[in-house]
Structure 1
Amino acid sequence: MNWNIIVTSLPGPGCEYRLLHELRAMGKFHTTEFKDVCMGYVEDVTNFLEAIRQAETDGSPWIKDLGRVIPVEKTFHFIPETLVEQLKEAVTPYVGRISGGTFHVRLERRGLIGQVISPEVERSVADHLFALAEKEGHKVMASFKDADYIVAAETVGHECGVSLLTRDLRQHYSFVKTG
């Protein structure tokens, strides 16, 4: 399936069902094999985020079931042995967008326990971005507290989605956050 959004629901009876019911009015969404995790495709990510923000502002009841939303810029299929190299390739274009300031890499792994070690992947991808930035003469620093940028990688089984979340995006849409 083509997807560009990951949405998690809060745990609890009926939360995922109610959330999925509302999301399906905004795009093509389905549950995954992982509890409280939905994947979807929307035509316009900004309009989708705005619709959720408006529902939040209006106090729509279903918004209480929403955990978080991650818009995804690029997706790919992987096997554990290729994930790091594929992620490095996917995030290489981000170095120009991170041209100054602070960032960190966050991998939310679902499945593949013991096969994909999130901290190792995060460190390897971050080192790759640091090396690229230095090569291009950009000054960047790591920060895990309110970074200017978060490189977000979300795996669902053998599928991975990646995006660059700016501080402005995260502040404007409080539900866009990494796990």
Structure 2
Amino acid sequence: MKDWNVVVTIAENGFKQAFSLLSQYDHVAKTPFRNVLTLKVENTETFLKSFLQDMQKDPAYRRVFCRVIPCTHCFFFQTLSAFEEKAKQCIQSFLPQLAHRSFHVRMHRRGFYGTIKSQDEAGLLGDYLNEQLRSQGAEGKVTFDDPDVILDVEIVAQQAGFSLWTREQRNCYPFLKLG
């Protein structure tokens, strides 16, 4: 599988159109998972703004794309322990943005069935994050009711992508679909 930094889920029967529309942004790739494509873009911030503008202009975007989520930190892994170790390293980079804020971890997993349990891993990462914040005197608050920030984890086969989304960003980019 190719390197990616955007995960896209598409509507049933929307594959050809989605692939065509995404090709204008950069390198789009098929995955072994139904209705899931990945994309490698040069700059995720530029992509977000461009995708939003295109979605506002072209009604096909709302029909074809279910969820589009860029990731700022990506890594490959082969085992659960390797995933957890690298995930904790990623989390370190997000600590300043999470200090004294409400948050939760959301995970979307494609692959590693039976090995990685999304809810368990999201809980483990949330606990680790809270522990790290507390050790710095910057404790946050875990909440699922409109948190200040959501840490999103995307897994596609043996690659994981992490991104952090503020309430304002979630409102601005409806295609993130983070709740």
- Taking structure 2 as the reference length, the TM-score comes to 0.92
Once the two structures are TM-superposed, the CA of residue 59 in structure 1 deviates from its matched residue by: 3.5
- C-alpha distance in 2, partners of 1:123/1:149? 15
Unmatched 5+ stretches in structure 1:
none
* Deviation digits for residues 66-124 of structure 1 (CA, Å, limit 9, x no counterpart): 11111111111112232222211111111111112211111111111111111111111
- C-alpha distance in 2, partners of 1:57/1:33? 30
Q: Calculate the aligned-residue CA RMSD, in Å.
A: 1.5
**Is the 8 Å Cα contact of residues 18 and 62 (structure 1) preserved in structure 2?**
no
**Is the 8 Å Cα contact of residues 55 and 61 (structure 2) preserved in structure 1?**
no
* Deviation digits for residues 99-157 of structure 1 (CA, Å, limit 9, x no counterpart): 12211111111111111111111111111111111111113101112211111111111
- C-alpha distance in 2, partners of 1:145/1:36? 29
Give SS of 2:174's match.
coil
**Is the 8 Å Cα contact of residues 70 and 178 (structure 1) preserved in structure 2?**
no
Alignment-derived partner of residue 132 in structure 2: 132
Give SS of 1:3's match.
coil
Alignment-derived partner of residue 4 in structure 2: 3
Mapping 1:23-38, distance limit 5 Å: 23-38=22-37
Unmatched 5+ stretches in structure 2:
none
* Percentage of identical aligned residues: 28
- C-alpha distance in 2, partners of 1:63/1:120? 32
* Deviation digits for residues 36-92 of structure 1 (CA, Å, limit 9, x no counterpart): 111111122222212221122224324311111111111111122322222111111
- C-alpha distance in 2, partners of 1:98/1:177? 20
Distance 1:119 1:61, change over 3 A: closer
**Is the 8 Å Cα contact of residues 101 and 141 (structure 2) preserved in structure 1?**
yes
**Is the 8 Å Cα contact of residues 19 and 63 (structure 1) preserved in structure 2?**
no
**Is the 8 Å Cα contact of residues 34 and 110 (structure 1) preserved in structure 2?**
yes
- C-alpha distance in 1, partners of 2:67/2:60? 16
Alignment-derived partner of residue 58 in structure 1: 57
**Amino acid paired to 2:165:** L
**Amino acid paired to 1:136:** Q
Give SS of 1:109's match.
strand
Once the two structures are TM-superposed, the CA of residue 26 in structure 1 deviates from its matched residue by: 1.0
Alignment-derived partner of residue 110 in structure 1: 110
Alignment-derived partner of residue 101 in structure 2: 101
Give SS of 1:114's match.
coil
The list of structure 1 runs, each at least 4 consecutive aligned residues, that deviate by more than 4 angstroms after superposition, is: none
Alignment-derived partner of residue 41 in structure 1: 40
- C-alpha distance in 2, partners of 1:108/1:56? 23
- C-alpha distance in 1, partners of 2:120/2:171? 28
**Is the 8 Å Cα contact of residues 55 and 63 (structure 1) preserved in structure 2?**
no
Across the two proteins, how many residue pairs are aligned to each other?
177
